[in-house]
Structure 1
C-alpha cells in the first residue's frame, strides 16, 4: 500500500469568541491520508490532550474532538490541528485557529 499524506484538515464548529473558564469542544476533520491520519492538537507549541478520535475507513475521514477550557491568558493564541500520516515522517497538514477569549460577564 502506498502511503499518502492527508489532503485536507479543517477545524469545524469553532465559536467566534470563547468565554473564559467555560468548556468547549471543537472538532478537527482530516481526509485523504492512507493509512488514516493521526491528529494532534496544540495551543501555541504545547501539545493538548483530546477526548475522542474516530476513523471511518470507507469515507477516508479521521476526526478528533478537543475538549478544553480557555482562560483570559489564551486570548490571541493559536489552536493548531495537525493531521499526520503515521507511516511517513513529515507527511502532515495543519490548520490554525486564533482564539478570542473574553472575560465571563458578571450578572447581578
Structure 2
C-alpha cells in the first residue's frame, strides 16, 4: 500500500441469519481538526424459509362444502413463493389469496372438496425462488365424506341384446362412498326387489342374480346405496328378454 494508506479489515466468520440488515460502519480520522470520514454497509442476505405450517388441518371434509385452508411460510428473504399441490400435481381449483407481514407470508386456499379428493395428499410448499433446493412443505391427507356414487351394469359376461327366456342373468352394482354404504337396495320398474331363492332371485352384497328369466323379468332395474351422507340411486338399466 502507499505511504498514506491504512487498511483495516473486519471478518465476520459463519455469518448467521441474525446478521440480516445489520449495518457495519468504518470511521477514519487523523486529526481533531477535521471531522472523521465514515462509510457504512448494510448486510443483505438470501435466506431459505424456516417453517411452513398448515394451521387449520381438519380430520374430515364434507364434499361440496366451502373450506379455507391457511398456509404460513416464515423466514424466506427477500422473496417467498408458495405452491399448493395435490398428489404432487398443481392444485388448480379454488381461490387463492395472499397477505404478508411480520416476516411471514400467508396463503389462504378457499375451495370445495370433491369426492375424488378423498385419500389424496394436499401440500403447501414454501421456497425462496432465488435459492435452489430451498423448498419445505407441510401436508394434509384429505378425508372427504360424500354420498354414494352408484352405477349399475349387466354382468360383464352377458350380451344385452342376446338374453333369452330361461337364461340366468345378473347385475352388478358399483358403489363408491365414504363412509362405506350401510344399505343396498334393488328395484324393478320402481318396485323393490328382495331375495327369494325359490323364485330364483338371489341378492349377494352388490350383485343381483335372476335365474331362469322369463318375459315377466323384462323392464328397468336400478340399485341404490345409502350411507351417513345420503342415498343415491343408479341410472336404470333396461333388461330385454327374447323369446326362445
**TM-score normalised according to structure 1 size:** 0.87
Q: 1:36 touches 1:60 (CA, 8 Å); kept in 2? A: no
Return the offset for 1:48.
2.2
Secondary structure at the counterpart of residue 116 of structure 2: helix
Equivalences for 1:67-82 in 2 at 5 Å? 67-82=110-125
Structure 2: how far apart are the matches of 1:85 and 1:102? 36
2:109 counterpart (62, 66, 84): 66
Return the offset for 1:36.
3.6
Structure 2 residue runs of 5 or longer lacking an equivalent are 1-43, 148-228, 232-244
2:128 equivalent to 1:4: no
Deviations 1:12-71 (A, max 9, x none): 122220001112110000111111421110111221245201111xx1111100112211
- Counterpart of 2:73? 30
Structure 1 residue runs of 5 or longer lacking an equivalent are none
- Counterpart of 1:53? 98
Quote the RMSD (CA, aligned, Å): 1.6
Return the offset for 1:95.
1.2
Considering only CA atoms, is the larger Rg found in Structure 1 or Structure 2? 2
Deviations 1:66-108 (A, max 9, x none): 112211221111110000102112211111110100015239x
Q: Which moved more, 1:45-54 or 1:88-97?
A: 45-54
Secondary structure at the counterpart of residue 119 of structure 2: coil
- Counterpart of 1:86? 129
Structure 1: how far apart are the matches of 2:119 and 2:51? 24
Instruction: Show structure 1 runs of 4+ deviating over 3 A.
Output: none
**TM-score normalised according to structure 2 size:** 0.41
Aligned length: 105
Higher relative contact order (CA closer than 8 Å, sequence separation 6+): 1
